[in-house]
Amino acid sequence: MISMMKQECESRISRLQSVMKEQSINAFLVTQNIDIYYFTGSMQTGYLFIPQSEEPVFFVKRSVARAIEEACVPVLPLGSFRQFAETLAAQFPSVWPLSSAEGSIAPAVIATEYDVLPVQQYERLQAVLPANVTWTDGSLLLRELRMVKSPWEVERIMTAARAAHHAMEQAAAYVRPGMMELELIAHIEYAFRMQGHIGMIRMRGYNQELVTGMVASGEAGAEPTYFDGPAGGRGLTPASPQGSSRKVIAVNEPILVDIGCCIDGYVIDQTRTIVIGKLDDELQQAYEASEAILRAAEERLKPGIVCETLYADALEMARNYGLSDHFMGFGADQVRFLGHGIGMEIDEWPVLARGFRQPLQAGMVIAIEPKFTFPGRGVVGIEDTYLITETGYNRLTTAPGGLISIPAPQ
């Protein structure tokens, strides 16, 4: 695995350096833990400095020993942060802007991740690095680079998909009326952890958090919250206002099981709807609409299709079903997308949303999640994860689709 990871990192760095040359970026300072892991295979604390044409160096604060063991690039101690500019200048004399007898050398253009780098840390970097450095936002570059997955990455996502399949089977066999949502999600989390789930789902979005997903039943599933998704769940407390709660699961109500699993750093996203007994006619129709929207999206999943058109088609179908007001949330809490990229973070690019004119490319991995929210009654829907191929798609989620109906106890 180490040799494969080294090949992966070398390929990723090479792709990044090619774009850096095209955009006249002298170096990329990688600061976020996921991006550092993407290029090095290690998630120790520090900064990865990638020059345009030389070998990168991972400057590590802690733990240097572990980074040396894990990383696929050279590792050096970060040392004094105040001396970071001198450290970089000594290591990369051809990149770093220094004064000379003839005058000042042209400033280096340094890219970094504006989308996730805290302002305070950015200002500290500005203070210790030379004033004539030209900083530029490299977050778009990295997000586009990470959109396309290698076969090695897809294998990891498929491993997580198999774990999600198993966990869904466990949930369907275990659920019963009278148990709390909390008990069912705990059962799912145990099944996940025993298969290697790291216990968290990473997100890039500011102030967005996710652990394993949620079990949300009846009216609790339809309660709005800050989470940027079509269903938030009641949660256990206002200190964590999303996901599963202590609500008791009842018969004849939708039970939304929206779960993610992260193995080897890569995530799968999957949703299924369970009912103990029977849904009422309106909820049943809405569930069937979600399946129909997903199938229609599948028919168009291939390279070249523009992302926003898939969302527009889904909106039109929801209108035709008379369910526009309930599609992907309700009222002011509706979200404006149909699906999202997935990889090491659950909110990667591309996004199936208005304004996202990126055409699909082979190697993209996308979760598509048509859902309908009914305040006071619940949420129904389905979600699968797909790999875009040269000719179409492969569904990576392996759990059977369809409404999971469990006979109500007599």
Predicted local distance difference test score (pLDDT) of residue 96: 67
Predicted local distance difference test score (pLDDT) of residue 101: 42
Q: How would residue 100 be classed by pLDDT, with cut points 50, 70 and 90?
A: very low
Predicted local distance difference test score (pLDDT) of residue 94: 82
Predicted local distance difference test score (pLDDT) of residue 410: 82
Q: Which residues contact 378 (CB under 8 A, 6 or more apart)?
A: 216, 217, 218, 219, 221, 222, 253, 254, 256, 283
The model's pLDDT over 311-342, given as tens digits with 9 standing for 90+, comes to 999 999 999 999 999 999 999 999 999 999 99
Residues 279-303, mean pLDDT to the nearest whole number: 98
Long-range contacts of 299-304 (CB under 8 A, 24+ apart): 301/360, 301/366, 301/386, 301/388, 301/392, 301/393, 302/360, 302/388, 302/389, 302/391, 302/392, 302/393, 303/359, 303/360, 303/361, 303/362, 303/388, 303/390, 304/359, 304/360
pLDDT > 70 fraction of the chain, expressed in percent and rounded: 97
Predicted local distance difference test score (pLDDT) of residue 266: 98
How many Å apart are CA 42 and CA 371, to the nearest integer? Answer: 37
Q: How would residue 232 be classed by pLDDT, with cut points 50, 70 and 90?
A: confident
Predicted local distance difference test score (pLDDT) of residue 3: 74
How many Å apart are CA 245 and CA 223, to the nearest integer? Answer: 11
Q: Which residues contact 258 (CB under 8 A, 6 or more apart)?
A: 213, 214, 216, 229, 231, 270, 271, 369, 383
The model's pLDDT over 37-46, given as tens digits with 9 standing for 90+, comes to 999 999 999 9
pTM above 0.85, yes or no: yes
Residues 13-32, mean pLDDT to the nearest whole number: 97
pLDDT at 99 exceeding the cut of 50? no
Predicted local distance difference test score (pLDDT) of residue 4: 76
pLDDT at 168 exceeding the cut of 70? yes
Predicted local distance difference test score (pLDDT) of residue 267: 97
Closest CA to 347 of 254, 200, 229: 229
Instruction: Provide the terminal-to-terminal Cα distance of the chain, rounded to the nearest Å.
Output: 52
Are 165 and 399 within 8 A, CB to CB? yes
> Per residue, what are the HEC states of the chain?
CHHHHHHHHHHHHHHHHHHHHHCCCCEEEECCHHHHHHHHCCCCEEEEEEECCCCCEEEEEECHHHHHHHCCCCEEECCCHHHHHHHHHHHCCCCCCCEECCEECCCCEEEECCCCCCHHHHHHHHHHCCCCCEEEECHHHHHHHHHECCHHHHHHHHHHHHHHHHHHHHHHHHCCCCCEHHHHHHHHHHHHHCCCCCCCCCCCCCCCCCCCEEEEEHHHHCCCCCCCCCCCCCCCECCECCCCCCCECCCCCEEEEEEEEEECCEEEEEEEEEEECCCCHHHHHHHHHHHHHHHHHHHHCCCCCEHHHHHHHHHHHHHHCCCHHHECCCHHHCCCCCEEECCCCCCEEEEECCCCCCECCCCEEEEECCEEEECCCEEEECEEEEEECCCCEEECCCCCCCCEEECCCC
Residues 174-190, mean pLDDT to the nearest whole number: 97
pLDDT at 48 exceeding the cut of 80? yes
Predicted local distance difference test score (pLDDT) of residue 89: 87
Are 231 and 222 within 8 A, CB to CB? yes
pLDDT at 247 exceeding the cut of 50? yes
Residues 200-224, mean pLDDT to the nearest whole number: 92
**Range with lowest mean pLDDT among 231-235, 341-345, 392-396:** 231-235
Predicted local distance difference test score (pLDDT) of residue 220: 95
Predicted local distance difference test score (pLDDT) of residue 95: 80
Question: What's the mean pLDDT when you consider all of the chain?
Answer: 94
Place of tokens 């180490």: 2
The model's pLDDT over 107-161, given as tens digits with 9 standing for 90+, comes to 789 999 999 999 999 999 999 988 778 999 999 999 999 999 999 999 999 999 9
